[in-house]
Every structure is written in structure tokens, then in C-alpha cells.
């Protein structure tokens, strides 16, 4: 039965390299016993933050606290924190048993063998004790790295993109494994990743980081359904972002004018102030119906022409050019109820009011668009307006 775990707090934590602030004055409280993800693109400062918590980087300013204890200036070997490194960093000259036992031995613990055997069983590597890291597969090495860190029952376990080197299928498997282990062991896990799907699958709460600061903090559903910045809207999944003018307020709702179309958005889902906003709707929330069919003639609709149709199997992805020339994306689930709409057809796009959100119009509409070799290019709809 794990004792009551204390929260990890980052207080005004800053790390500067020369004039560049890799981590800029961030504030964060991670509840003890939770699975927390630090999500962001490469270079956003998430790894630097992790290393500062581990003690491998010294903060320029700010404090790191576990409970009430300030560990900011403590050496790594004095912190109740352990790390699972990105490339595993297993000691090549020691076998698996000694790798896992390393931390215990340094602390002078007695019944090493029993604890190591139990831990190897937990990560499903019983009997691998005598082998050397060089003889293991990537997935096995990863589990040894995990065992090596976990066995010390740290207050906080840090994971630095530990699944990055694994192939897709193995990664999915390990994501579930890690979550299961965390629940079973009950420790605080802080997981750094650039893969938003991974973060949403595993984490209880996520902090999205960008350029050294935190864009938004919350549960996966909070972040996904109600993003507070363009970056989060684009980085998690995809968003269609459209410029809109605020025309008035009606009770709990905000009334918008989108190029002549009437749009209603709940005020609780608007982060913007001012007369101009960015209206956001996720592609899977857009219903696509051919013009000739029965379209709901309510607010929150606009018409357009299908420019591209991609049948993916699970769904069909449509690119639709609206009446005012902007291209938006809509996902239609392949539920067998409706036929494919070919390019060239006129369609009506509609969504429920509670699925829309408003963001500050002064933000860069392309922020958070992920373009890298491994992921797909996900353009934001607003970019071409």
C-alpha cells in the first residue's frame, strides 16, 4: 500500500541558455499518484523541464518542490526521483539483474535479489537477469529501463519519450502496459512526449508546452473538446479555424457572423474578447450533407463545394471549399448510412453549437500545425483564407 504521495510543484521554473529561455517561468502542480503528460513539439522545453526535475540540469530561476521540500538545488542522487531515459541508457557492462539492482545497491538495500525478481516479474522479464542489454530487443530494453527506475519507488518517475524508438504496434502495447503498471504501483508518472495520441491515451492530465511555456493544462477531454489557444487546437487533433465577427450576446450564447452565416457559440466555450474571434470546429464534428438532401436549416451551417474526397476505411475525409473561398476539413464516419460525396458536389456543413469554440483572433492561425517527417501534414483551414 503506497504511502500518501506528495504533489510535484514547479514554481516559476526557468532555464535560460544564453539569451534563449528554453523553459520560461512555468508554474505547474502535478498531483501525487497521477499519470501526467508533458506534451509538445520538439524544442518546446519539455525535456529540459524533465531534466531539471531529475537534477540533470540546473534551473536558472524558480523552484521544484516535492510536497514542501525544495529539491531544486539537490544533486540527482539526492532526489527521490528516477528517470527512464529516451535511449534507455542501460549500463552495457552490467547484466539485466545488476542494471535493475543498481539503485538499490547504491542505497545499501538488503534483500536485493527478492526485489529485483519481483520487479522483473512486474515488467514480464522474469529469467532475463543474466542477459546483457546488448542481447535484448528494443522493447525488452525499455522494460529493463522501467524496472531499473521503478524498483526504487521514487516519489516521481520521469519518462523521457521512452516509446519513441519502438515500432507502432509495440508502442501501442507499451502504452497500455505503462498505464497498467502506473495504476498498479500507484506512483506519480511524468511522461514527456511529442505524440498527442500517446499523451491522450495514457495521461490523467496533460500540460501542452510550446516555446518554453505552458499553453494549456487539463484532462485529455478538456484539452481536446475545449482548447484555449490556437496552438492547442491545432496540436491536438485538427481544427477548422474561421474568422468571425461578434454581433451580440443572447443569454448564455455568443452570436457570431461568419461571412454572412449566423453562428451560435456558448459563451462558456469562448476564450476570446473583442469584436473579432476565431471560430473553431473539429472536422469530426462537422456534418456533411448534400445540398439536395434534407439539411437542417438552423444556425451553425454554411455551404460549400467538395474539393477532395479521401476514403480511409474507417472514415472519409472531405476537403470543402466554402462560399468565401476557405478550405475546411470534415470527417465522416463510415457508418454505412450515407454514400460518398464526390468532388464537385455542393454540400451543407453543419455542427451542434456546443461543439464550437472561440479563440483569440490575434493568435497565429498556423500555430501548432505539426509538420514533420513521421506525422502527416495537417494543414489548418484558416491558413489559406
> In this complex, which beta carbon is closest to other proteins, that of residue 26 or of residue 279?
26
Among 123, 167, 172, smallest CA distance to 143 is for: 123
Interior angle at CA 230, CA 197 and CA 257, nearest 5: 125
> In this complex, which beta carbon is closest to other proteins, that of residue 89 or of residue 370?
89
Task: Rule CB under 8 A: say whether 152 interacts with other proteins.
Answer: yes
Task: Rule CB under 8 A: say whether 137 interacts with other proteins.
Answer: no
Task: Rule CB under 8 A: say whether 215 interacts with other proteins.
Answer: yes
Task: Rule CB under 8 A: say whether 180 interacts with other proteins.
Answer: no
Contacts 24+ apart (CB under 8 A), 310-318: 311/340, 315/284, 316/340, 317/283, 318/288, 318/347
Q: How far is the CB of 27 from other proteins (least distance, A)?
A: 5
- Spatial contact of 188 and 32, defined as CB atoms under 8 Å apart: yes
Q: How far is the CB of 327 from other proteins (least distance, A)?
A: 31
Q: How far is the CB of 118 from other proteins (least distance, A)?
A: 18
Distances (CA, A) of 172 to 75, 165, 176: 34, 12, 7
Interface map 72-111 toward other proteins (x if CB under 8 A): xx-xxx---xxx-x-x-x-xxx--------xx--xx----
- 30-59 positions binding other proteins, by CB under 8 A: 54-56, 58
Residue with cell 457572423: 257
Q: How far is the CB of 127 from other proteins (least distance, A)?
A: 17
Half-sphere exposure of 85 (CA within 13 A, CB side): 8
Q: How far is the CB of 226 from other proteins (least distance, A)?
A: 12
Task: Rule CB under 8 A: say whether 155 interacts with other proteins.
Answer: no
Length of the chain: 385
> In this complex, which beta carbon is closest to other proteins, that of residue 116 or of residue 319?
116
Decide the pairing of beta strands 301-311 and 287-290: unpaired
- Spatial contact of 370 and 231, defined as CB atoms under 8 Å apart: no
Separation CA 83–CA 73 (nearest Å): 17
Residues that bind other proteins (CB under 8 A): 9, 11-12, 25-29, 54-56, 58, 61-63, 65, 68, 70, 72-73, 75-77, 81-83, 85, 87, 89, 91-93, 102-103, 106-107, 132, 134-135, 148-149, 152, 213-217, 228
Amino acid at each position: 500500500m503506497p504511502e500518501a504521495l506528495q504533489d510535484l510543484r514547479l514554481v516559476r521554473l526557468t532555464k535560460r541558455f544564453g539569451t534563449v529561455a528554453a523553459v520560461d517561468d512555468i508554474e505547474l502542480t502535478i498531483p501525487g499518484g497521477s499519470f501526467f503528460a508533458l506534451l509538445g513539439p520538439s524544442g518546446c522545453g519539455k525535456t529540459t523541464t524533465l531534466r531539471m526535475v531529475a537534477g540533470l540540469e540546473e534551473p536558472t530561476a524558480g523552484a521544484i518542490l516535492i510536497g514542501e521540500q525544495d529539491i531544486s538545488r539537490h544533486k540527482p542522487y539526492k532526489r527521490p526521483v528516477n528517470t527512464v531515459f529516451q535511449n534507455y541508457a542501460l549500463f552495457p557492462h552490467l547484466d539485466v539483474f545488476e542494471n535493475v539492482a543498481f539503485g538499490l545497491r547504491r542505497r545499501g538495500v538488503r534483500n536485493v535479489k527478492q526485489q529485483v525478481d519481483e520487479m522483473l516479474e512486474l515488467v514480464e522479464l522474469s529469467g532475463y537477469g543474466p542477459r546483457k542489454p546488448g542481447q535484448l530487443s528494443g522493447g525488452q530494453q525499455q522494460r529493463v529501463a522501467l524496472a531499473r527506475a521503478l524498483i526504487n519507488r521514487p516519489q516521481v518517475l520521469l519518462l523521457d519519450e521512452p516509446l519513441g524508438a519502438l515500432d507502432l504496434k509495440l508502442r501501442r502495447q507499451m502504452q497500455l502496459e505503462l498505464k497498467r503498471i502506473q495504476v498498479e504501483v500507484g506512483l506519480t508518472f511524468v511522461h514527456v512526449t511529442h505524440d498527442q495520441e500517446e499523451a491522450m491515451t495514457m495521461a490523467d492530465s496533460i500540460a501542452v508546452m510550446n516555446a518554453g511555456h505552458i499553453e494549456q493544462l487539463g484532462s485529455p477531454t478538456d484539452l481536446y473538446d475545449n482548447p484555449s489557444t490556437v496552438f492547442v487546437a491545432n496540436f491536438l487533433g485538427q481544427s477548422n479555424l474561421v474568422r468571425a465577427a461578434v454581433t451580440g450576446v443572447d443569454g448564455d450564447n455568443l452570436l457570431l457572423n461568419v461571412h454572412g452565416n449566423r453562428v451560435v457559440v456558448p459563451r462558456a466555450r469562448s476564450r476570446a474578447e473583442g469584436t473579432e474571434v476565431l471560430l473553431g470546429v473539429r472536422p469530426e464534428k462537422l456534418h456533411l450533407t448534400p445540398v439536395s438532401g434534407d439539411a437542417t436549416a438552423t444556425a451553425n451551417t454554411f455551404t460549400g463545394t467538395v474539393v477532395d474526397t479521401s476514403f480511409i476505411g474507417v472514415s472519409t475525409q472531405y476537403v470543402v471549399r466554402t462560399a468565401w473561398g476557405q478550405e475546411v476539413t470534415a470527417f465522416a464516419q463510415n457508418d454505412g448510412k450515407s454514400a460518398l460525396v464526390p468532388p464537385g458536389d455542393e454540400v451543407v456543413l453543419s455542427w451542434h453549437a456546443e461543439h464550437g469554440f472561440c479563440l483569440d483572433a490575434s493568435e497565429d492561425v498556423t500555430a501548432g500545425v505539426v509538420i514533420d517527417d513521421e506525422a502527416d501534414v495537417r494543414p489548418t483551414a484558416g491558413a489559406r483564407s
